Structure 1
Amino acid sequence: MLKEGGMEKINFSGGEPFLHDRGEFVGKLVQFCKQDLELPSVSIVSNGSLIRKQWFQKYGEYLDILAISCDSFDEDVNVLIGRHQGKKNHVENLHKLRQWCREYAVAFKINSVINRFNVEEDMNEQIKALNPVRWKVFQCLLIEGENSGEDALREAEKFVISDEDFDRFLDRHKDVSCLVPESNQKMRDSYLILDEYMRFLNCRNGRKEPSKSILDVGLEAAIKFSGFDEKMFLKRGGKYVWSKADMKLDW
């Protein structure tokens, strides 16, 4: 239904897409979207902790972009943020995933959420060494109901930074050519987000308000309640060369 409605790019995120069935489920989704639907771009956002080389061997040819969440190159900061992966070093794993993307011709992307614990960090050297096709830099955004528990929103507030703090971080990294910044305003209105029930999630009011499912009312009726701002989508650079067939890269 989405393809018939004009969808060109699909991105699987979570939670953690590789959590279920060792990545087989998301792998089959990726293969279907590329092979059967023939979408120009299929991508995944992951923390990288559960991805194995065997997955690339089986499904890498169908994936255009793999985005890995990396909020810091300091393991102590990753512990504070919650990116710690037990005995596995998050930064070392990031470099391993970068190499696998080269081997299997998958475009490599990094997503970083800038918050109180990493806002003063200088990531220039590490990002340039990893050389992603895009480095998405998000300003920490509070979404009501995003985390469970009565105190979730209050706990999340300790991560929030001001617009001025975010601008200082961006200025410190202005020479990184692949940098794509996203402020709170840009994030809130410029994504088409579907949940597991195929409902669009409208974030305009600071919480994820679901539409009716496209399986019940169809795509056209459901998308009216998505809160999607096409102008903001274009302004934030949402449309770019997103098919690896069109990318001229030194993998």
Structure 2
Amino acid sequence: MDSILRLLGLVLVTLALLNLYYFRRWKRPVSVNYHFTRRCNKTCGFCFHNATTSYMEQPDQAKTGLRLLKNAGMRKINFAGGEPFLYPKFLGEMIDFCKEDLRLESVSIVTNGSLVTEKFIKKHGSNIDILAVSCDSFHEDTNIEIGRGSGNQVPQLYKIGVWCRQYGIKFKINTVVCRLNHQEDMNKHIDVLQPFRWKCFQVLIVAGENDSSSTLRDGRKFLITDQEYQGFCQKHSRQKSLVAESNRLMAKSYLILDEYMRFLDRDGRQPSAPILQVGVRKALQSVYWDEKAFKDRGGIYDWSRKEGSCSEVNQGLDW
């Protein structure tokens, strides 16, 4: 009997060690981009997350999914679309939940800026760490040609920059470098706006989203060469806030959760099962996520309103 008990104990210890090893090695969703809607009030010609559905998760279900992500290791959430400010009530509720209930280190939003109001910022700003506004040109005619502008993109960007400083939110600018703007010199405006982070993406083609005349958007006409993209980055290299993301770094390094709370695969056509059905770990196992590229592109940075949070973020990562 004693030998059987010893053997059983050895088996249990072995299983516990294997489980601990597996837990330490499985991919943890440190930073997640939740595209809770595909609807948008703009028509950017290169968009790779188009309004192919109008579905949006119910608030209670969305909160359940966000809690699952937090329990699985999420420390930063980024709300995106579509245009998240089309649904200010839902967005505000999720922001407050992530900060006040989940206590996430960073809550950020990516928006085209057109629907951002000071009233919203005043109500929810204390729970927003980063507000990123997409601006591809400081020439309104170029913004209009891209499909992002209606003649007031630049004044609205400046207005949001003021609100962010006023309410203690980190102000970020996202720029997609494409055929229509790669020769533009934006230094003067970046000098004035002083974003804490200026993300410059090389325009990206995603299969099934913006890669042909049969998709809602056809981004091929906006493509630029790697050399043209590098030329844009070189022109703005004196900007300390510049974060350049080429296609190589961008395509596989983002964890994107769609409106059904599924992780999207790198080609955008093979999503996981919804995390509400199978859990986060199993959903992550079914898609490709390049953790090294995530780190290489600077996916971990000082992403909280609180100073010194970056060192905390790096603790416990297995890279």
Q: Which has the higher contact order (CA 8 A, sep 6+)?
A: 2
Counterpart secondary structure, 1:72: coil
Q: 1:228 aligns with which of 289, 299, 302?
A: 289
Q: Could you tell me which residue of structure 2 aligns to residue 212 of structure 1?
A: 273
Residue 44, structure 1, aligned to residue 104, structure 2? no
Gap change, CA 1:158 and 1:192, over 3 Å in 2:
same
Residue 174, structure 1, aligned to residue 242, structure 2? no
Counterpart secondary structure, 1:201: coil
Q: Could you tell me which residue of structure 2 aligns to residue 131 of structure 1?
A: 194
> What does 1:94-173 align with in structure 2 at a 5 Å threshold?
94-147=157-210, 150-152=213-215, 155-173=218-236
The one-letter code of the counterpart of 1:2 is L
The one-letter code of the counterpart of 2:192 is A
Q: 2:145 aligns with which of 65, 71, 80?
A: 80
The one-letter code of the counterpart of 1:201 is L
Q: 2:123 aligns with which of 32, 42, 58?
A: 58
Instruction: State percent identity of aligned pairs.
Output: 50
8 Å contact from structure 1 (residues 136, 180) kept in 2: yes
Which string of whole-angstrom CA distances, capped at 9 and with x for unpartnered residues, describes residues 35-57 of structure 1? 10000000000001011110011
Partners of 1:61 and 1:70 lie apart in 2 by 24
Q: Could you tell me which residue of structure 1 aligns to residue 306 of structure 2?
A: 245
Q: Could you tell me which residue of structure 1 aligns to residue 35 of structure 2?
A: none
Partners of 1:13 and 1:234 lie apart in 2 by 21
Partners of 1:100 and 1:2 lie apart in 2 by 30
8 Å contact from structure 1 (residues 114, 139) kept in 2: yes
Counterpart secondary structure, 2:126: helix
8 Å contact from structure 2 (residues 137, 143) kept in 1: yes
Q: Could you tell me which residue of structure 2 aligns to residue 191 of structure 1?
A: 254
Gap change, CA 1:230 and 1:148, over 3 Å in 2:
closer
8 Å contact from structure 1 (residues 43, 63) kept in 2: yes
Structure (1 or 2) with the larger CA radius of gyration: 2
Which string of whole-angstrom CA distances, capped at 9 and with x for unpartnered residues, describes residues 203-228 of structure 1? 1xx33420111111111110112311
Q: Could you tell me which residue of structure 2 aligns to residue 19 of structure 1?
A: 86
TM-score norm. by structure 1 comes to 0.92
Q: Could you tell me which residue of structure 2 aligns to residue 92 of structure 1?
A: 155
Partners of 1:72 and 1:214 lie apart in 2 by 37
Partners of 2:134 and 2:122 lie apart in 1 by 22
8 Å contact from structure 2 (residues 77, 107) kept in 1: yes
TM-score norm. by structure 2 comes to 0.73
Residue 29, structure 1, aligned to residue 90, structure 2? no
Q: Which has the higher helix share?
A: 2
Counterpart secondary structure, 1:108: strand
Partners of 1:79 and 1:104 lie apart in 2 by 30
Gap change, CA 1:95 and 1:247, over 3 Å in 2:
farther
Partners of 2:247 and 2:98 lie apart in 1 by 30
Counterpart secondary structure, 2:257: coil
Gaps of 5+ in 1: none
Gaps of 5+ in 2: 1-67, 310-319
Partners of 2:197 and 2:270 lie apart in 1 by 29
8 Å contact from structure 2 (residues 80, 109) kept in 1: yes
8 Å contact from structure 2 (residues 84, 91) kept in 1: yes
8 Å contact from structure 1 (residues 11, 42) kept in 2: yes
Which string of whole-angstrom CA distances, capped at 9 and with x for unpartnered residues, describes residues 57-81 of structure 1? 1100000000000000000110111
Partners of 1:176 and 1:102 lie apart in 2 by 19
How far apart are residue 154 of structure 1 and its match? 7.8
Q: How many residues align?
A: 242
Gap change, CA 1:191 and 1:37, over 3 Å in 2:
same
Partners of 2:284 and 2:276 lie apart in 1 by 12
Which string of whole-angstrom CA distances, capped at 9 and with x for unpartnered residues, describes residues 69-122 of structure 1? 00000001101111113xx51000000000011111110000000000000000
8 Å contact from structure 2 (residues 136, 175) kept in 1: yes
The one-letter code of the counterpart of 1:8 is R
